[in-house]
């Protein structure tokens, strides 16, 4: 080392000050001098790479970092910096290896944080939990890494653990508005909307006044049945930031559900699009509104200019494909194929490509893609559902095993809770309680129900005697159903632990001509429909199945078309339980009555 140590220390301090001041040219010059004077001092090369990156010379920065890593592979900061650069350059696999080497030293927390970010972005949430297990209870672990752990836990459905992390951070830093806001988000994701609203309000009081904070607060207001406040808040948010797409979409949906007026629902989106006609994300939001309100052709037309561009983005292509599949499978396939070419590993791109392949009659190619995806995600309910369609179209006997309706779909009668004299009196009280929660005029966008409404509140969060009693009435039928399933190696039986937890519970009220389009429940293991109140026009014979639950008819076009394979006739107090991957819907019914149900998803506990 030709320069003295004190001189190098002084020069490094000067270089750091220049970097912090944004004087990257001077910093680069000084750091190059240090690197020449002390060629084995790799920290100087790390800072030099930072200056080069700031000046836009990514190639030179990578060359400097690789040289530093070759000199001292054990110095975690340079390994981490190289990994970060590679990830940002689109070379995630190489970047991950460098970050793992840096994190393995245990001496550079930033490397662990960056690796956790990469894994979460790649939906490898189990690996994030494993990566952060050792540091999870360490008081010295930083907020950023704990946040990544909480993101992973939430994605895995371990909401209580994620909430506990944010409560710990808030307790340690009570004035931290960001931590309070993340706590609100975790509570909201867990369906604990009342607590989420209170936490979001506290975050705003602490200084979280960004549009994102107010948007989250609005979502919690919707979920706690305070629609007026939510709508006013969302209007303020989109006025302040017209291109805030999530806020625009939620405002449009809220207005639609409250009024059933598609034009009124799209008013704010239309204003934003007139000001920013080239904004593809806003165009997708408008297309989703049109598609969700029943005009798939208009949805495709809204995206035509964007989808026709050679550089059309993934969201445009997948949104256009989903809408076009309702009336032109060949056109939908064209969009989907481009989406999959643009992002071969993307879940949405593969979802629409598989659906359109089935729509144009290429079940063999669809099945190949499904099987490839299932190897990486074997419990994906939507992939399993589309696999059963492909098998059925191809005459594959495995369809009969996976869709054994007689063995897998059962109807049970719920018990009368102790506080009620009989089941009809309980169902009458339960119906009255549920109807008070049905405050919306019409259905949410892009969900299965039509000509009806769905409760915004999580029923598990509702303090009502009849609703609280419902959870006790369903426990025995659920346990009996789980026992009948048994254990084996198919997608339903292999997950059977004998225990369960409810992963979401809501109520649906259908009016005249109301029905559910055919769909599956991607977040469940078992799904359900419990019938609380039924219309007089309900069909009573096999020749008249109005209002019945049907199974086996896909939710999108297939070639050739496929009819339902199984039906369950609803009765008051009947609880239907079935695999979440079963395609299911309802037959429309006429008359003036309503069809009131509670639905929930179960996952193994």
SS3 135: coil
| Cβ burial 174-200 (10 Å sphere, 16+ → b, else e) | eebbbbbbbbbbbbbebbbbbbbbebb
> In angstroms, what CA-CA distances link 188 with 171, 287, 290, 523?
19, 27, 27, 16
pLDDT in tens, 88-109: 999 999 999 999 999 999 999 9
Report, as an integer, the average pLDDT of 236-247.
98
- pLDDT above 70 covers a percentage of the chain that reads 99
Question: H/E element holding 2?
Answer: none
Q: Are 499 and 475 contacting, i.e. CB atoms less than 8 angstroms apart?
A: no
The β-bridge partners of 584 are 519, 551
Asked whether the predicted pLDDT for residue 147 surpasses 80, the reply is yes
Question: Rounded CA gap, 112 and 106, in Å?
Answer: 8
Residue 569 has φ and ψ, to the nearest 5°, of -85, 120
Question: Rounded CA gap, 98 and 115, in Å?
Answer: 9
Strand order in the sheet with 595-604: 410-413, 574-579, 526-533, 595-604, 500-516, 449-454
Cβ-based neighbours of 213, under 8 Å, separated by 6 or more: 177, 181, 200, 203, 204
> In angstroms, what CA-CA distances link 281 with 214, 253, 295, 353?
20, 16, 19, 21
The residue written with tokens 């549009």 in the block is 211
What does the pLDDT read at residue 384?
99
SS3 532: strand
Question: Rounded CA gap, 412 and 554, in Å?
Answer: 25
Asked whether the predicted pLDDT for residue 76 surpasses 80, the reply is yes
Question: H/E element holding 174?
Answer: none
pLDDT in tens, 556-589: 999 999 999 999 999 999 999 999 999 999 998 8
CATH of 407-604, one of 3.40.50.720, 3.40.50.300, 1.50.40.10, 2.60.120.620: 2.60.120.620
pLDDT in tens, 160-197: 999 999 999 999 999 999 999 999 999 999 989 999 99
Distance, CA of 45 to chain centre: 41
Tokens matching residue 599: 């639905």
Asked whether the predicted pLDDT for residue 236 surpasses 80, the reply is yes
Tokens matching residue 37: 């004077």
What does the pLDDT read at residue 1?
46
Q: Are 196 and 223 contacting, i.e. CB atoms less than 8 angstroms apart?
A: yes
What does the pLDDT read at residue 251?
98
Question: H/E element holding 501?
Answer: strand 500-516
What does the pLDDT read at residue 171?
96
Closest of 115, 111, 172 to residue 138, by C-alpha: 172
| Cβ burial 570-587 (10 Å sphere, 16+ → b, else e) | bebbbbbbbbbbbbbbbb
Q: Are 557 and 326 contacting, i.e. CB atoms less than 8 angstroms apart?
A: yes
Strand order in the sheet with 584-586: 566-568, 549-551, 584-586
What does the pLDDT read at residue 543?
76
Question: Rounded CA gap, 232 and 245, in Å?
Answer: 17
Tokens matching residue 13: 């301090």
User: How far does the chain reach from its first CA to its final CA, in angstroms?
Assistant: 61
What does the pLDDT read at residue 3?
58
Closest of 504, 530, 508 to residue 517, by C-alpha: 508
Question: Rounded CA gap, 68 and 219, in Å?
Answer: 48
Report, as an integer, the average pLDDT of 384-404.
98
CA dihedral for 521, 526, 531, 537, sign (positive or negative): positive
Question: Rounded CA gap, 539 and 122, in Å?
Answer: 48
Question: Rounded CA gap, 439 and 142, in Å?
Answer: 43
Cα atoms found within 13 Å of the Cα of residue 170, Cβ hemisphere only: 20
Question: Rounded CA gap, 505 and 496, in Å?
Answer: 20
The β-bridge partners of 453 are 509
Q: What is the DSSP letter of 318?
A: H
pTM of the model: 0.86
Closest of 114, 122, 120 to residue 98, by C-alpha: 114
Cβ-based neighbours of 536, under 8 Å, separated by 6 or more: 591, 593
Q: Which DSSP string corresponds to 371-383? A: HHHHHH-TT-HHH
The β-bridge partners of 575 are 412, 530
Question: What ranges do the domains of the chain cover?
Answer: 407-604
Per-residue pLDDT band at 4 (split at 50, 70, 90): low
β-strands 595-604, 526-533 pairing: antiparallel
Tokens matching residue 106: 């245990």
Average pLDDT of every residue of the chain: 95
Closest of 405, 450, 446 to residue 564, by C-alpha: 405
3-class SS letters over 452-499: EEECCCCHHHCCCHHHHHHHHHHHHHHHHHHHHHCCCCCCCHHHCCCC
Q: Are 505 and 598 contacting, i.e. CB atoms less than 8 angstroms apart?
A: yes
């Amino acid at each position: 080392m030709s320069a003295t140590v004190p001189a190098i220390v002084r020069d490094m301090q000067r270089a750091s000050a220049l970097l912090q001041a944004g004087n990257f040219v001077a910093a680069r010059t000084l750091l190059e001098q240090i690197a020449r004077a002390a060629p084995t001092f790799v920290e100087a090369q790390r800072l030099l790479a930072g200056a080069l990156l700031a000046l836009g010379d990514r190639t030179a920065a990578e060359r400097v970092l690789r040289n530093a890593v070759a000199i001292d592979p054990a110095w975690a900061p340079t390994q981490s910096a190289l990994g970060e650069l590679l990830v940002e350059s689109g070379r995630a696999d190489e970047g991950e290896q460098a970050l793992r080497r840096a994190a393995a030293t245990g001496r550079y927390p930033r490397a662990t944080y960056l690796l956790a970010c990469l894994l979460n972005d790649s939906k490898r949430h189990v690996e994030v939990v494993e990566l952060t297990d050792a540091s999870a209870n360490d008081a010295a672990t930083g907020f950023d890494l704990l946040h990544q752990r909480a993101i992973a836990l939430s994605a895995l459905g371990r909401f209580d653990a994620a909430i506990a992390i944010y409560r710990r951070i808030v307790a340690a830093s009570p004035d931290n508005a960001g931590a309070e806001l993340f706590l609100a988000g975790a509570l909201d994701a867990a369906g604990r909307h009342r607590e989420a609203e209170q936490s979001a309000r506290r975050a705003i009081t602490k200084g979280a006044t960004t549009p994102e904070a107010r948007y989250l607060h609005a979502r919690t207001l919707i979920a706690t049945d305070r629609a007026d406040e939510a709508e006013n808040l969302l209007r303020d948010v989109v006025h302040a930031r017209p291109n805030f797409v999530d806020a625009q979409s939620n405002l449009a949906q809220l207005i639609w559900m409250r009024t059933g007026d598609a034009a009124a629902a799209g008013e704010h989106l239309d204003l934003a699009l007139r000001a920013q006609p080239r904004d593809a994300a806003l165009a997708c939001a408008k297309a989703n509104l049109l598609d969700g309100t029943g005009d798939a052709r208009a949805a495709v037309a809204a995206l035509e200019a964007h989808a026709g561009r050679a550089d059309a983005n993934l969201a445009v292509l997948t949104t256009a494909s989903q809408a076009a599949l309702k009336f032109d499978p060949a056109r939908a396939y064209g969009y989907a194929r481009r989406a999959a070419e643009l992002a071969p590993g993307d879940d949405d791109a593969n979802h629409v490509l598989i659906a359109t392949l089935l729509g144009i009659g290429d079940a063999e190619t669809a099945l190949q893609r499904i099987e490839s995806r299932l190897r990486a995600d074997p419990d994906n309910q939507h992939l399993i559902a589309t696999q059963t369609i492909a098998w059925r179209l191809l005459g594959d006997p495995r369809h009969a095993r996976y869709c054994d309706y007689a063995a897998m779909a059962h109807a049970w009668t719920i018990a009368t809770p102790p506080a009620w004299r009989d089941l009809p009196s309980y169902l009458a009280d339960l119906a009255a309680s549920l109807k008070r929660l049905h405050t919306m005029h019409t259905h949410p966008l892009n969900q299965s129900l039509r000509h009806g409404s769905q409760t915004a509140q999580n029923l598990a969060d509702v303090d009502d005697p009849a609703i609280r009693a419902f959870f006790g009435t369903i426990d025995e039928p659920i346990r009996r159903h789980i026992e009948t399933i048994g254990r084996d190696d198919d997608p339903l039986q292999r997950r059977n632990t004998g225990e369960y937890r409810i992963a979401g519970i809501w109520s649906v009220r259908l009016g005249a001509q109301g029905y559910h389009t055919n769909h599956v429940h991607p977040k469940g293991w078992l799904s359900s429909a419990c019938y609380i109140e039924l219309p007089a026009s309900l069909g009573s014979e096999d020749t008249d199945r109005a209002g019945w639950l049907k199974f086996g008819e896909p939710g999108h076009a297939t070639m050739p078309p496929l009819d339902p394979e199984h039906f369950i006739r609803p009765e008051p107090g009947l609880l239907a339980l079935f695999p979440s991957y079963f395609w299911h819907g309802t037959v429309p019914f006429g008359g003036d009555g309503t069809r009131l149900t509670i639905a929930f998803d179960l996952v193994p506990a």
